[in-house]
């Protein structure tokens, strides 16, 4: 059965002039594997702003009618991929890349404290680890744009005709230059590591969306 997966990343934001999730989304859209033969992959890079999420996500879902959402965001302080399991009803007062802050503490006034993300988190965790990339499950997506997208995507998945799966993966900073051999054991992840993990996640998402 054909499956459509919307794969997203973010652009730069204050403190992160290079965001590896945008190139990752584009790279995964070019991935060719037998298990993805009947899978349409639609890449999208969100400008790192609340308005962009609210504007673009509904349009993308209406246009492409994806069976699954696979979203990536940068968490500069982490060392391993984090597979998010919840979207928090919380917003940071920090401005987005456009200088806009929401000036409120919750996403949905009067809503629940958190929403469970509709994703096979443990299956994704196993897929990443099988690709020899460190990963963990997370119950806290923060309060910035990544968490905001988690919430909006989970809302969309709960609507009639919405995607069956909505998964969000936080990735660490990647090295852009070779690392000295003495530091290989604890080396930062490289773009190739992210691509390998992303491909494993994409394959697992495709299987789940077909069920």
Give me the pLDDT at residue 34, please.
75
Instruction: Spell out the domains of the chain, with CATH numbers in brackets.
Output: 3-210 (3.40.630.20)
Q: Could you read off the pLDDT of 85-137 as tens digits, one per residue?
A: 999 999 999 999 999 999 899 999 999 999 999 999 999 999 999 999 999 99
Tokens 């989970």 correspond to: 154
Two tokens, residue 140 = 């806290």
Give me the pLDDT at residue 182, please.
45
Secondary structure of residue 9 in the 3-state scheme: strand
Give me the pLDDT at residue 48, please.
96
Radius of gyration of the chain (CA): 16
- Decide if pLDDT at 179 tops 60: no
Residue 25's closest CA among 121, 154, 140, 169? 169
176 — pLDDT class (breaks 50, 70, 90): low
155 — pLDDT class (breaks 50, 70, 90): very high
177 — pLDDT class (breaks 50, 70, 90): low
- Decide if pLDDT at 181 tops 50: no
Q: Could you read off the pLDDT of 133-144 as tens digits, one per residue?
A: 999 999 999 999
Q: Are 149 and 57 in contact (CB under 8 A)?
A: yes
How far, in Å, are 46, 108, 207 from residue 7 at the CA level? Answer: 11, 25, 15
How many CB atoms lie under 10 A from the CB of residue 2? 9
């Amino acid at each position: 059965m054909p499956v459509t997966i919307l794969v997203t990343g973010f652009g730069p934001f204050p403190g992160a002039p290079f965001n590896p999730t945008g190139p990752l989304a584009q790279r995964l859209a070019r991935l060719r594997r037998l298990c993805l033969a009947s899978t349409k992959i639609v890449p999208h890079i969100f400008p790192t702003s609340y308005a962009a999420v609210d504007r673009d996500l509904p349009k993308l879902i209406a246009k492409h009618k994806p069976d699954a959402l696979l979203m990536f965001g940068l968490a500069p302080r982490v060392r391993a991929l984090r597979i998010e399991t919840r979207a928090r009803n919380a917003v940071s007062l920090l401005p987005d890349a456009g200088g806009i802050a929401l000036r409120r503490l919750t996403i949905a006034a009067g809503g629940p404290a958190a929403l469970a993300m509709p994703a096979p988190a443990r299956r994704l965790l196993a897929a990443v680890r099988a690709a020899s990339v460190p990963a963990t499950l997370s119950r806290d997506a923060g309060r910035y744009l990544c968490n905001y997208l988690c919430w909006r995507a989970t809302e969309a998945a709960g609507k009639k005709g919405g995607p069956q799966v909505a998964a969000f993966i936080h990735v660490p900073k990647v090295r852009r230059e070779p690392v000295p051999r003495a530091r290989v054991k604890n080396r930062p992840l490289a773009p190739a590591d992210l691509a390998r993990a992303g491909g494993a996640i994409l394959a697992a998402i495709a299987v789940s969306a077909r069920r």
